[in-house]
């Protein structure tokens, strides 16, 4: 049984300018004291075509952690725009939040992002190179994709993660590339729903 249950994630400052920091308020619960730290990472997917364009925006260690419910704000600078392929700068991409214990990833949360210009003229005639200072980042906060992995919580030596079912009952993808490949059409945004409505600690 997992010793850490993710209760809620609230996407803060959304929508926002592309060059503003990412901010997520994360609430989780430990069913018993953890002797070692949890490692949280925030990853920006620069291109659905290749993982080589992924950027780890930040990683933080939280712990040691007593039993109970905990909350913190995970903030990270925006991605390095020079590492984003020009063809992938505007449109749909993904940001990932992951958490590991003893170097074993046990949960991954993915959010689709829609990057677009706020100027109608720029929308019609995309500038080259992209003008990121005029791009709006809109995170689809109401529909996170959650993937859980079984890990060994007791042993120091990390074992290979075994995928479990996600919150919708579907099996997770077998690779990051499949998991983060955005849909052909972005679902409708609900700007008034910037937090999970269905995630509760049990």
pLDDT band at 156 (very low <50, low <70, confident <90, very high): low
Q: With respect to residue 14, please indicate whether it lies within any of the assigned structural domains.
A: yes
Q: With 0.75 as the threshold, say if the pTM is over it.
A: yes
Q: With respect to residue 116, please indicate whether it lies within any of the assigned structural domains.
A: yes
User: What average pLDDT does the structure give for the chain?
Assistant: 81
Q: What confidence tens digit (pLDDT) does each residue in 26-76 have? A: 999 999 999 899 999 999 999 888 888 999 999 999 888 899 999 999 999
The answer, yes or no, to whether residue 170 has pLDDT greater than 50, is no
pLDDT-wise least confident of 21-30, 57-66, 142-151, 191-200 = 191-200
pLDDT-wise least confident of 73-77, 163-167, 192-196 = 192-196
Closest CA to 98 of 50, 148, 51, 141: 148
Q: With respect to residue 191, please indicate whether it lies within any of the assigned structural domains.
A: no
Q: Tell me 167's DSSP state.
A: T
Q: With respect to residue 45, please indicate whether it lies within any of the assigned structural domains.
A: yes
Q: With respect to residue 145, please indicate whether it lies within any of the assigned structural domains.
A: yes
Question: What is the domain extent for residue 119?
Answer: 4-179
Q: What span, in angstroms and rounded, lies between the C-alpha atoms of 132 and 115?
A: 9
Closest CA to 100 of 37, 190, 49: 37
* 3-class SS of residue 125: coil
Q: What is the CATH number of the domain that holds 57?
A: 2.60.40.1490
pLDDT band at 169 (very low <50, low <70, confident <90, very high): very low
Q: With respect to residue 136, please indicate whether it lies within any of the assigned structural domains.
A: yes
Q: With respect to residue 199, please indicate whether it lies within any of the assigned structural domains.
A: no
Higher pLDDT, 78 or 165: 78
Those residues with Cβ within 8 angstroms of residue 34's Cβ, 6 or more apart along the chain or in another chain:
3, 4, 63, 64, 65, 101
* 3-class SS of residue 119: coil
Q: With respect to residue 52, please indicate whether it lies within any of the assigned structural domains.
A: yes
Other C-beta atoms within 10 Å of 148: how many?
Answer: 20
DSSP letters of 20-51?
A: SPEEEEEEEEESS-BSS-EEEEEEEE--SS-G
The answer, yes or no, to whether residue 11 has pLDDT greater than 50, is yes
Instruction: Identify the H or E element spanning 178.
Output: helix 176-179
Count how many domains the chain has: 1
């Amino acid at each position: 049984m997992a010793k850490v249950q993710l209760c809620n994630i609230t996407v803060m400052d959304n929508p926002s300018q592309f060059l503003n920091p990412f901010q997520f308020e994360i609430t989780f619960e430990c069913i018993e004291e953890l002797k070692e730290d949890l490692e949280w990472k925030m990853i920006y997917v620069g291109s659905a075509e290749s993982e080589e364009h992924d950027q780890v925006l930040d990683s933080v260690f939280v712990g040691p952690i007593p039993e109970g419910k905990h909350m913190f704000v995970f903030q990270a600078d925006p991605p390095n725009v020079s590492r984003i392929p020009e063809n992938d700068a505007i449109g749909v991409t993904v940001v990932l939040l992951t958490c590991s214990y003893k170097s074993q990833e046990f949960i991954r949360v993915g959010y689709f992002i829609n990057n677009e210009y706020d100027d109608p003229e720029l929308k019609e005639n995309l500038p080259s190179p992209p003008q990121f200072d005029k791009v709006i980042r809109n995170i689809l906060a109401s529909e996170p994709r959650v993937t859980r992995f079984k890990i060994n919580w007791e042993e120091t030596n990390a074992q290979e993660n075994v995928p479990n079912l996600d919150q919708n009952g579907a099996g997770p993808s077998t690779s990051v590339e499949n998991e983060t490949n955005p849909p052909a059409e972005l679902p409708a945004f609900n700007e008034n729903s910037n937090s999970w409505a269905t995630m509760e600690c049990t």
